[in-house]
């Protein structure tokens, strides 16, 4: 059975080499006679897996010792509440940028714990463009500035890192982490759900500057307290061991590909190919301003929505899966994370061209 090209926004396609390695180690990890799923998280074997994964992530992302790396559970959405609980401290407000559905969810959750100042919103543009930072209404006394660099549903992506001065910058990098180089030192906190560019679901990585630890409110649940998680090497309780192991395999695979710079070159090329095809067609369209188009999530519409069902049926028959757009925006969406090979994008473009010729 041949592997399909899975364009799902998450859980997303994983590198075939990683899946094969996991398959070979499923019943017996390195002669232990156990699957990683069966190991004690306190065992020397799993501690080695965990430490290697963190070391490789630090190397790939350029994370200095000034930052703690936490492997937590609950996905990125759990951080919508963890962040204000840990970072507001004695302050009463935080700044947020609204660029789409995931931003809105983060804003709604933060309002449970303090005042939220929406410094800028892309809503006036239909979430097709990002307001220039010169027009943002930031607060000098904000506990932090939160933004979503890439909105997976709408396909809107920042082409700049906001300047936040002395206010810690917080970013939801779930869909773009490790897809290109990033200066981690510009951020106070980065969080990323695993199921797009890191590994399977069930894990969220939090990269936090150490001076921001120890500020959690007293009502913060123990399992959401960054200081507690850091003090216990992300093992205060039993962590998502198998997701952590698979994430480690992905990190090793990324290093073998040449690291994030090599991935940036590949991802840029994949996105350009697909956008160039869409822009050159009178049958397909993308609604996002060219400057702010996502590298990872490319939404597109057909000239006739009535053809959506036929398009998806034909795509599935070719092994081009999960192209249906999010129900809130409709149309199609191709998510082309690190694990999507260039051949997958080429196959999608070929199918789109043939479908337009037949139905246009």
Residue 323: count other Cβ atoms within 10 Å of its Cβ: 23
Query: 58 φ, ψ to 5°?
Result: -60, -40
Distance CA 194, CA 197 (A): 6
Long-range contacts (CB closer than 8 Å, 24 or more residues apart) made by 132-135: 133/160, 133/162, 133/163
Distance CA 273, CA 280 (A): 11
Distance CA 153, CA 327 (A): 9
Task: Spell out the residues 6+ positions from residue 31 whose beta carbon is closer than 8 angstroms to its own.
Answer: none
Q: Report whether 238 belongs to an annotated binding site.
A: yes
**Could you say which of 104, 172, 244, 270 is catalytic?**
172
Name the nearest CA neighbour of 217 among 321, 123, 143, 150: 143
- Return the beta strands (E) in the chain as ranges: 5-6, 67-72, 93-98, 115-121, 145-147, 150-151, 156-157, 169-172, 189-193, 204-209, 284-285, 297-302, 320-321, 332-335
Q: Specify whether 196 is catalytic.
A: yes
Q: Specify whether 172 is catalytic.
A: yes
Q: Report whether 322 belongs to an annotated binding site.
A: no
**Could you say which of 29, 95, 102, 253 is catalytic?**
102
Q: Report whether 102 belongs to an annotated binding site.
A: yes
**Could you say which of 104, 196, 215, 324 is catalytic?**
196
Q: Report whether 172 belongs to an annotated binding site.
A: yes
CB neighbour class for 101 (10 Å; exposed up to 12, middle 13-18, buried from 19): middle
Q: Report whether 279 belongs to an annotated binding site.
A: no
Q: Could you list the residues known to form a binding site for pyridoxal 5'-phosphate, using ranges.
A: 76-77, 102, 152, 172, 195, 237-238
Q: Could you list the residues known to form a binding site, using ranges.
A: 42, 76-77, 102, 152, 172, 195, 237-238
Q: Could you list the residues known to form a binding site for L-glutamate, using ranges.
A: 42
Active-site annotation, residues: 102, 172, 196
């Amino acid at each position: 059975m041949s592997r399909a090209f899975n364009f799902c926004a998450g859980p997303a396609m994983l590198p075939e080499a990683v899946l094969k390695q996991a398959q070979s180690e499923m019943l017996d990890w390195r002669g232990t006679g156990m699957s990683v799923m069966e190991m004690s998280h306190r065992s020397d074997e799993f501690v080695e897996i965990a430490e290697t994964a963190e070391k490789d992530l630090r190397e790939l992302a350029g994370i200095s010792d000034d930052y703690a790396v936490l492997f937590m559970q609950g996905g990125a959405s759990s951080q919508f509440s963890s962040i204000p609980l840990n970072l507001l401290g004695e302050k009463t407000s935080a700044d947020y940028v609204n660029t789409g559905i995931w931003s809105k969810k983060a804003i709604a959750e933060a309002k449970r714990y303090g005042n939220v100042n929406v410094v800028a919103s892309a809503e006036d543009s239909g979430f097709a463009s990002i307001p220039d930072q010169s027009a943002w209404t930031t607060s000098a006394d904000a506990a932090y500035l939160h933004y979503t660099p890439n909105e997976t549903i709408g396909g809107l992506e920042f082409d700049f890192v906001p300047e936040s001065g002395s206010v810690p910058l917080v970013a939801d990098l779930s869909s773009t982490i490790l897809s290109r180089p990033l200066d981690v030192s510009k951020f106070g906190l980065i969080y990323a759900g695993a199921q797009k560019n890191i590994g399977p679901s069930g894990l969220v990585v939090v990269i936090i500057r150490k001076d921001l630890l120890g500020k959690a409110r007293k009502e913060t649940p123990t399992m959401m307290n960054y200081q507690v998680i850091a003090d216990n090497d992300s093992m205060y309780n039993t962590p998502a061991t198998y997701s952590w192991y698979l994430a480690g395999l992905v990190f090793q695979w990324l290093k073998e590909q040449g690291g994030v710079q090599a991935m940036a070159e590949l991802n840029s090329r994949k996105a350009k190919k697909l956008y160039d095809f869409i822009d050159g067609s009178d049958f397909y369209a993308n609604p996002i301003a060219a400057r702010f188009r996502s590298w990872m999530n490319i939404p597109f519409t057909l000239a006739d929505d009535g053809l959506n069902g036929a398009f998806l049926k034909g795509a599935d028959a070719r092994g081009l899966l999960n192209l249906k757009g999010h129900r809130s925006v409709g149309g199609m969406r191709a998510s082309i994370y690190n694990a999507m090979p260039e051949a997958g994008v080429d196959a999608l473009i070929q199918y789109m061209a043939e479908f337009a010729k037949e139905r246009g």
